[in-house]
Structure 1
Amino acid sequence: MTSKLLKQAALASVSLCLGLSSGINQAQASAHQTSPEVNVLRKFNANQIKGKINISGYELNPNSIKLLNRSLRRKIQSIKGLNNLATLKSANSEVLELNKGLIIQSKLSYSLKPGACATYKSKLSRAGIQCGSKEDLKSSIASLSRRGSPNYISNTNKRRFAIKNLENSQLEILKETKKARAALEDPEVISTLGAATVKRLKKMSDEDLAVEVLNTADQVIEETVFIPKAESFKNLRKVGTLQGNSLRNITKNLSKQKITKLPKYKIPKKIANPAPVDRSSTKEDIFLTGFTFGKQYEWRKKWTKSVKWCWTGCKRTYYVEPYATFGYGLGLRFPVKANLSFNSDGTRAKVTPTFTPINANSRQYRQTGMRQNQVFNGQELVAEMSARAGLKMKLPFVGRKSMSRGYDRDLTDNLPAPFRNGHFTPPSPGRPLPAAAPVFLRDIDLLGGAADYGVAYAKLHPGIKMDLNSNSLQFKLKDNVRNRIYAVSSGQTRDLGIQNNRSSVTLFNPKYNLGFRITPGVQYNVGVDFAVWGKSWRDEIWIPQLSITLPPGGADFSCHANTQCSRTYSFQAS
């Protein structure tokens, strides 16, 4: 392919992902090339990336690309190893760097030879190449009414509509099959397929012949992932109000954290009317650390089948293409209970702070100074998802269809332990939380049943993987009498100055070191059913470039915005 064509292909992919016209032409491509909105900066062959490479601010390596293209690579190797059953026409995987983000795309084109599915279906399946299966109208209609079926439709009116589509689809497919049967008398077809193959095909019923034609069609599989550069809280209601420290700002300032300057504490020499002093040997308060983070990505996958109903001509092209734009927003709040134990014999004073991460309730969140509209029922994890999912298709009888649906959801309702419902106890230093099992929210269909056409169905389920650990938890402690500042960890004792029989300390600037990773994904369940021939695709994809991964050794999270970040305590020395 020439560089000019490669550039046009790249721009076409960009237009698809960024919501531009899918039918891009050369003039439009030129316009997009010069547009500040979409600009392809660099393009890489994914197979030529041998080491780590930074593209659009994301670190890519061969393993992460393999993960995204795992099914493509497996199919390529399988087709090459089964050249007596399948023909590989083209395969490529590319990484595009844009001014707005990053695109990873793959495309595979192949076809199966006549008789391959009929005789070697199991062998092909083990190699990762799925044949379509023979269907009949009665069973296809029954599956629409059977709970648990992937294409089950609960709404009666929608089910009637889908059944009508199935009936008409079967009629159209069988009508096309008559062309295939008539073409078996054509000398050119006999020469192309071989006399033995033609003889076998002539003996088939119309239904079996339709399955054979559809299974030997030219097939194209395309998959595209778009990852924008910018963090975004668009359409995320809870996360947008938190206004915590964004991950970008935290990592940017890790090496140059500033110590909060506190006003010098003065104790008057004489106290005419002493203010009430807490004579308790302990004092307890709640501090809150944390951050807010948001990211978006887009995914789409397209299966195209070009069917030659006359074996060498009469080509019809069908396709299904599900897609989704996801916005993930995370608000992580780590409540810490600070307990100060004071001891004094009248001449010497000491304080021993103890810091304990806790699963705080709503009342304790309010004690930190957080506004009521940000408490969110005391959730440590505020996780939201905003999505727009859709399906494009061109299929027998129904023709071209396109639909899309917006969606937003609080993800914490479905998270596994230890993050269930967004309530969890943050990890203490050296004691990581148990790793949460990967979870797909299968009760959430991003398409909401809107893609149930009978002849086609598509369900998209969001997924999430999480783990969290801590290396340290420290505060700054100021001895207000001596005007000294210390970094203190839990259980560490500090001597204090005494003046006028009192000691005073200010506890401030919590620094909670955490190693945190969350990886988003999507599971798709897509199928077509022509009431003669059917095929389904089900898989999952994780997006490693979207993992919110803190630097090695974790990152230090400071006091959460809009909360009380310092407190002063006064103690009676005797």
Structure 2
Amino acid sequence: MAKWIFGWLAVCGGTSCLFVQVETAQAQQMTLRPALRVEKAETEIQPPVVPKATAPASAVTLKPGSTSEALRSLPVRQRYTAAALRRSPVIALGPDKLDLRPVLDNPAALGNLASRLRQHSALVQVLASDTEASRIDKGLVVRQYLSYRMKPGACSTPAKSAQLTQAGAGCFVRKSASARSAAYAAPGNPRYIANPAKRQQAIAAADKEAASEQADFAQGIAQFRAMMNDPAQRKQVEAELGAAEAARLAALPDDQLENEMVNAADVQIEEVMFVPVERKLQLAKQPALSAAVRKRPALHMPEKVDAERTLQPHILLTGFTLGREHEWRRRVSITIKTCLVSCKKTYYIEAFAGFGYGFGLRFPISVSGLYAYNRVGDKESASIAPVFQPVNGSPRDYEETGLDGSQVFKGRELVAELTAYAGVNYKVPFHSGGISANAGKDLTEGLPAPFTNGQFQPPSPGPGGAINTDVVFDQPDLLGGLANFGVVGAKVLPAVKVGLTSDRLQLQLKDNLSGQVRLMTSSGQTYPLTIDPKDHSSSFSIGHPEYSLAFEVTPGLNARLFVDVAVWSHDWNWPVWFPQVAVTLPPDGVTFTCHEKTVCSREYFYSPTVSKDQPGAQQPPADPMEKEVFDWRAAYIKKYYDQCSYLPLNFCGVAIKGVAEMTGNRILNEMRAQPKYPSMATAQIMIRHAVEADKKGKAIILESKVAAIDIYGKDLFRTYEPIWAHDCADQLCRTRIHALGDAYVKALKARQNAHPNAERNEVVFDENTQGNWAGKARQEVRASQQRAARLKLRKPAAMPNQAVRKVP
């Protein structure tokens, strides 16, 4: 009955246009309708309200306004239509390859939903559908759009509703007040609110909203019936709906007519996701062996020597730790004709999230081996048999590699620590609003085998070591459970899937004396070494691991939204999968090299009498801008980290490194936005953020000092108290001296705050001297002794015994 028109639509604004391929439905004249309205095929949602919740200014795509407006502000280098993406789903972005198959094959993808809806053309009309990708300098933007409308009677029977639900576009369902209230207490429901008090507030708001909506619908139905009873207006209705359809609707009772009205809504859904480009990690350069190590005095050697020495085990780290900032937004707009022909009201909700996984796969390689030296007369030989294998590393192993403390992540091989911001904006007929939240979560906690708590044995080369289990995280709600407004609401849950297999592990052996470099692929194999005749030593390095791995990393979200229209409810549960990021080498594998900013090799100096090793230098990034920030971070941490007071939990050190990391990221982001580097503008960016970071560093140090003196003061008072209270004459004295403890600790903290540069012992000495706490205790002792003396004086004397006269 319907013809589909394929073409191009230009969405223009300013001086540029966004060209998108669209599909529009044009129905032939039907018996029930003399004509259909000629409608503009929209391909994006224009937000009907200024957003209350906004993403940070650094967000690439999460800007107020339409998606086309956001894209116009970005230099789009290339566009990909849906057909082109299906033909070639892998897009190369610099060193990265983005595989869009998880997006395109996702059953919940809007393009796939449109295809399923077209299979039910008797029940639903697809008005427009579009999928496209845009390559920009910072990454890839993927946009999907769908609009549809249920046909008359599509939701009138359970069988028809079931078909639409199975296709992915269910009908609005009538819910009683008790059922709606129960949904707010059901953990799996998008309406769920854990806090009972807030839950009751939301239920009350929903009940009030439903009553207002119901009254509005009743008025619209009355208006429709009045129009049908007026001959002139009836002709207008019949021209709009068709005579037969108008008569069918007029014959329906009010509840069924309301069902038709709500489910005949125009539904628009738009989703935008952004995947940033990930740079390929730089390999650390091998440092030259210093002259001080190579030049050693000749040793007097015995005639025959046999010596074997085991190399001290060390850890080298391969892999990566991501800092990608994905972005996602979904907008839903539902327009209902409350009197079936002309009166309209729109329900709009959008959810967005920007999330960065401290996500990565890191593979510690344990390196040891056996050094052997043999000499008979003038003939001498030396060899090394390195032993290396992937291991499940401890936090100390990771720290040994020189990895920044903010990336140790408790020594986990699988890292999935989430930092995110998210928000919701909405507009319904009676009000609008929004809310935003920040989240942080260790997503590896409680994972099942083989990724238990993110700790696992990396796969050994060969088919026997493959790990094929997908990992999916389904918590936390990035909106913090706050995005429930009674009539609309949303939850945004992160997700990740990982699969691994390896086929090669090799290290590099360099003989520093001969300059020969060998690639070692077999652990335990023996390699000869050159010997320096002056001191009979050998100098060599082992490092630069390469670990070949085929892997799939698919980050995602699970978005749950709901809209309640009077007594009618609709839920959406959308799993969203982002493009996989894969640097592929035949056969579909990737070689993990030395982890950026870690020690990539060890230098060894061995002889029959000497055995030494030392780490190679940590290699900063090659990019000049990144190197400037790298050097600033290192200097900042060195300046403040050692000032942290010792505490059982080193929150100060973690915070200092966190400030260094976050400030460095901000500096890089702002510098990259400048047209030129280096420049006065980039220098000012560095100075401004460095000054602000210094303020934060000083505040963190002071906070650690106050926390440390709080602990020390309490311990100190436990020593003072029994001494001060020793001569108390009553319990009141001991109670009052005990009460001095809280005041004493508060005074120490206040003095430390007032003198941030003072050391702990100086603060304690000044407070003990100036606060006269021992004197206060002595006053309590004297007071107690005086009380005891007074009690003794008031005690009555004993009565003398009196003779008892006998009665005769």
> What TM-score, normalized to structure 2?
0.60
For structure 2, the residue ranges without an aligned partner over 5 or more in a row are 1-7, 21-43, 48-54, 229-233, 610-808
Question: Would the alpha carbon gap of residues 77 and 331 (structure 1) be closer, same or farther in structure 2, given more than 3 Å must change?
Answer: closer
- For 2:88, which of 38, 41, 51 is the aligned residue? 51
Q: Which has the higher helix share?
A: 2
Q: Which residue of 2 aligns with 1:243?
A: none
SS at match of 1:386: strand
Q: Percent identity?
A: 31
Deviation at 1:205, TM superposition (A): 5.2
Question: Would the alpha carbon gap of residues 426 and 321 (structure 1) be closer, same or farther in structure 2, given more than 3 Å must change?
Answer: same
Please give the alpha-carbon distance, in whole angstroms, between the structure 1 residues aligned to 2:602 and 2:98: 41
1:477–1:505 CA contact under 8 A, matched in 2: no
Question: Would the alpha carbon gap of residues 429 and 145 (structure 1) be closer, same or farther in structure 2, given more than 3 Å must change?
Answer: closer
Deviation at 1:258, TM superposition (A): 6.2
2:89–2:101 CA contact under 8 A, matched in 1: no
1:518–1:549 CA contact under 8 A, matched in 2: no
Q: Which residue of 2 aligns with 1:5?
A: 12
2:212–2:566 CA contact under 8 A, matched in 1: no
Deviation at 1:520, TM superposition (A): 0.7
Question: Would the alpha carbon gap of residues 449 and 205 (structure 1) be closer, same or farther in structure 2, given more than 3 Å must change?
Answer: farther
- For 2:354, which of 308, 314, 325 is the aligned residue? 325
The answer on 1:182 being equivalent to 2:217 is no
- For 1:379, which of 407, 412, 425 is the aligned residue? 412
SS at match of 1:121: helix
The answer on 1:164 being equivalent to 2:204 is yes
Deviation at 1:434, TM superposition (A): 1.1
Letter in 2 for 1:284: Q
Question: Would the alpha carbon gap of residues 541 and 357 (structure 1) be closer, same or farther in structure 2, given more than 3 Å must change?
Answer: same
SS at match of 2:88: coil
Question: Would the alpha carbon gap of residues 278 and 226 (structure 1) be closer, same or farther in structure 2, given more than 3 Å must change?
Answer: farther
The answer on 1:412 being equivalent to 2:444 is yes
SS at match of 1:38: coil
SS at match of 1:359: coil
Deviation at 1:84, TM superposition (A): 2.4
Q: Which residue of 2 aligns with 1:471?
A: 503
The answer on 1:222 being equivalent to 2:258 is no
SS at match of 2:184: helix
Deviation at 1:134, TM superposition (A): 1.2
The answer on 1:173 being equivalent to 2:208 is no
Please give the alpha-carbon distance, in whole angstroms, between the structure 1 residues aligned to 2:369 and 2:451: 29
Letter in 1 for 2:590: G
Deviation at 1:328, TM superposition (A): 2.4
The answer on 1:282 being equivalent to 2:284 is no
Please give the alpha-carbon distance, in whole angstroms, between the structure 1 residues aligned to 2:81 and 2:555: 25
**What are the within-5 Å matches in structure 2 for residues 301-380 of structure 1?**
301-330=330-359, 332-343=361-372, 346-347=375-376, 348-368=381-401, 375-380=408-413
The answer on 1:72 being equivalent to 2:101 is no
Letter in 2 for 1:73: G
Deviation at 1:524, TM superposition (A): 1.0
Q: Which residue of 2 aligns with 1:107?
A: 145
* CA displacement 1:468-489 (0-9 Å, x = unmatched): 3333333333446666443323
Letter in 1 for 2:140: L
The answer on 1:39 being equivalent to 2:67 is no
Please give the alpha-carbon distance, in whole angstroms, between the structure 1 residues aligned to 2:19 and 2:137: 14
Q: Which has the higher strand share?
A: 1
Letter in 2 for 1:532: V
Q: Which residue of 1 aligns with 2:552?
A: 517
Deviation at 1:147, TM superposition (A): 4.5
After the TM superposition, which of the residue ranges 215-224 and 193-202 deviates more from structure 2? 193-202
Please give the alpha-carbon distance, in whole angstroms, between the structure 1 residues aligned to 2:100 and 2:183: 42
Question: Would the alpha carbon gap of residues 550 and 60 (structure 1) be closer, same or farther in structure 2, given more than 3 Å must change?
Answer: closer
After the TM superposition, which of the residue ranges 330-339 and 373-382 deviates more from structure 2? 373-382
Please give the alpha-carbon distance, in whole angstroms, between the structure 2 residues aligned to 1:23 and 1:510: 48
Please give the alpha-carbon distance, in whole angstroms, between the structure 2 residues aligned to 1:510 and 1:98: 34
Please give the alpha-carbon distance, in whole angstroms, between the structure 1 residues aligned to 2:46 and 2:375: 74
- For 2:492, which of 442, 460, 465 is the aligned residue? 460
> What TM-score, normalized to structure 1?
0.82
Question: Would the alpha carbon gap of residues 9 and 156 (structure 1) be closer, same or farther in structure 2, given more than 3 Å must change?
Answer: farther
Q: Which residue of 1 aligns with 2:261?
A: 213
For structure 1, the residue ranges without an aligned partner over 5 or more in a row are 232-246
Q: Which residue of 1 aligns with 2:673?
A: none
SS at match of 2:105: helix
Please give the alpha-carbon distance, in whole angstroms, between the structure 2 residues aligned to 1:393 and 1:320: 4
Q: Which residue of 2 aligns with 1:567?
A: 603
SS at match of 2:468: coil
Please give the alpha-carbon distance, in whole angstroms, between the structure 1 residues aligned to 2:67 and 2:552: 38
Aligned CA-pair RMSD: 3.8
Number of corresponding residues: 541
Please give the alpha-carbon distance, in whole angstroms, between the structure 2 residues aligned to 1:462 and 1:48: 29
SS at match of 2:384: strand
